[in-house]
A and B are shown apart, each in its own frame.
Chain A
Amino acid sequence: MAKQVNKDDGIIVVRNLVKTFNGREVLKNISLAFEKGKTTAIIGPSGCGKTVLMKHLIVLERPTSGEVYFKGQRVDELSERQLAPIRTQFGFCFQMGALFDSLTVYENIIFPIRQHQKIRNWRAIDELVKQKLAVVGMDGYQQHYPASLSGGQQKRVALARAIALNPEVILYDEPTTGLDPIRSDVINELILKLQRELKVTSIVVTHDMKSAYKIGDRIIMLHEGKVIADGDAGHIRNHPHSVVQQFIHGQVGEADLAALRLGGTRFTPQYNPEDFQ
């Protein structure tokens, strides 16, 4: 039974959220309230519905049933046009960056600004782009195209684009995946800095427990479309659920081990065509 939440319990509230894809239930009756100004880390194994849940918060996915509220207003039923002013209050950092590959880094960052206002003072915009890129350590790359950047660099530029409109809520989809440990920590520090200085509400989907402990005021664990743990870092560390303990310690489950033992997999050092004859 999902915990009951009120639409005013947080800046974003989801109530009894169910999402089905081709008859498969990906999210099963999820009710959550995200508190304003706090950072929430959503953890869970791959395919458990973390990204799908996050896409519902900005209505990039519509629920099969259930409700989504932003600042007390129901948003999942709004039209695309009605959603536009709400979405400008969000920044979304996509897992693979999702930079527009036909635009330069500079054009990518000014994209959200350009879409919502007429730019007159280009010098101020240049300065803004420089400042946003400096935050993620990418100043000087303004004229590069995304294809010429590494995966990690693309992710950092995507983060700079997500903060271009100074949003109230930033949604990060695996922001540290694919980054080296130092750059991962820079991103963690950046998320903390944005929360401290601008009181930004952050929701971070991650696999990286080090990152989740560091940035998360609250950690939520999803498993098979349900919330199985919800609390601060201490609560999660001492959670009695075996799946939570396996996940946070990165231990393989008994079922997976059994599959490896019994699967009859024979590894040979080299490809041998005779194996397939």
Chain B
Amino acid sequence: MIEAIGEKTIESIVNTGRFARFMGRALNQSAVSILQPRCYSLIWTQMFTIGVRSVPVIMVTGAFVGMVLAVQAYDQLAGMGLEERLGVLINIAVVKELGPVLAAVMLAGRVGGALTAELGTMNVTEQIAAVQSMGTDPIKYLVSPRFLACLILTPFLIVYADLLGILGGYFVSVIQLDINSRAYWDFSAQGVALWDLSTGILKGFFFGGAIAMISCYKGFTCREGAQGVGEACTEAFVGSFITILALNFIFAVVMKAIYSTFWPVQSLL
């Protein structure tokens, strides 16, 4: 029993160390890739696959988030006669939390799963070893473009999720629940500050970076066979999902601290 616990502990420390080394090398090679224009074509290709192709699914996610918030929150607010303030609640929830987090979770499933499966298959069919044997660093060739594409485009995808979330919320609130449009937008404008929007979008960099890093690492270290690739994909999604939630919590604490330091009065209101 004690032996098993010790073994597991050592294994997780070793894995953490390996992941940290992988991340260090990937960050280093990504910085190098940014400075080398010949790497741009690889980054563009990944940006198309990771970013452009994710737009529809991210927009659908955002729209449903906004719509469901309107449906669920209306009764509570209407009970207090505050239904015209529904816009504040929907929009602040969408731009600050639900838009970024659910867009990132959707990306972890769509992009993270694909990255792990692709790199995992390359790993088990020795394609990664082939890249290495030809004097090319596989981290630079395979990980950096994917990492940079995720890092750059996740904030943009969050903007799409936010936009559709806001429109979805508006559609249900104003058209279906018959809330005054002018009041809806006025209260929203009062309640949602640029800070809320910016912090939501800023999270995208961290979420995107975490998804790419975890998914690529799992692909690079996946075990042989179809089962190995399958397990790696599952581990990548679960790992990315938990990391997104944990990062979101850390981000909320840090941003709140920053806000109350620089704007102590507003934070009390």
Contact = CB atoms under 8 A, between A and B. Distances in A.
A96 interface: yes
Given A80-B137, A81-B137, A118-B38, A87 B132 contact: yes
A101 B123 CA distance: 12
Contacts of A101: 125, 127
A135 B44 CA distance: 35
13 contacts: A60-B133, A83-B135, A87-B134, A90-B133, A92-B134, A94-B126, A94-B129, A94-B130, A98-B125, A99-B127, A115-B134, A115-B136, A116-B135
Across the A-B interface, the 3 shortest Cβ-Cβ residue pairs? A87-B135, A98-B130, A92-B133
B41 to A, nearest CB: 10
Interface string B67-101: 00000000000000000000000000000000000
A85 B134 contact: no
Interface in A230-256: none
B6 to A, nearest CB: 16
Contacts of A141: none
A213 interface: no
Most buried by A among B125, B132, B135, B136: B135
Interface string A56-79: 001010000000000000000000
Given A87-B132, A88-B135, 18 more contacts: A55-B129, A58-B133, A86-B135, A87-B135, A90-B133, A94-B126, A94-B130, A96-B125, A98-B125, A98-B126, A99-B127, A99-B130, A101-B125, A111-B134, A112-B134, A115-B134, A115-B136, A115-B141
Interface of A: 55, 58, 60, 80-81, 83-88, 90, 92, 94-96, 98-101, 111-112, 115-116, 118, 165
Interface in B120-163: 122, 125-127, 129-137, 141
Contact of A92 (B130, B136, B137): B130
Contacts of B136: 84, 112, 115
A73 B167 CA distance: 65
Interface of B: 38, 122, 125-127, 129-137, 141
A193 to B, nearest CB: 22
Nearest to B129: A60
B9 to A, nearest CB: 18
A84 B125 contact: no
B137 A84 contact: yes
A98 B135 contact: no
Contacts of B125: 96, 98, 101
A100 B132 CA distance: 13
B3 to A, nearest CB: 15
Contacts of A95: 126
A75 B27 CA distance: 25
Contacts of A116: 135
- Which of B127, B132, B133, B141 gathers the greatest number of chain A CB atoms within 10 Å? B133
Nearest to B130: A98
A228 to B, nearest CB: 27
B133 A96 contact: no
B134 A60 contact: no
Contacts of A115: 134-136, 141
B133 A87 contact: yes
Contacts of A88: 134-135
A85 B135 CA distance: 6
B127 A84 contact: no
Contacts of A111: 134
A116 B140 CA distance: 13
A90 B127 CA distance: 16
A101 B132 CA distance: 16
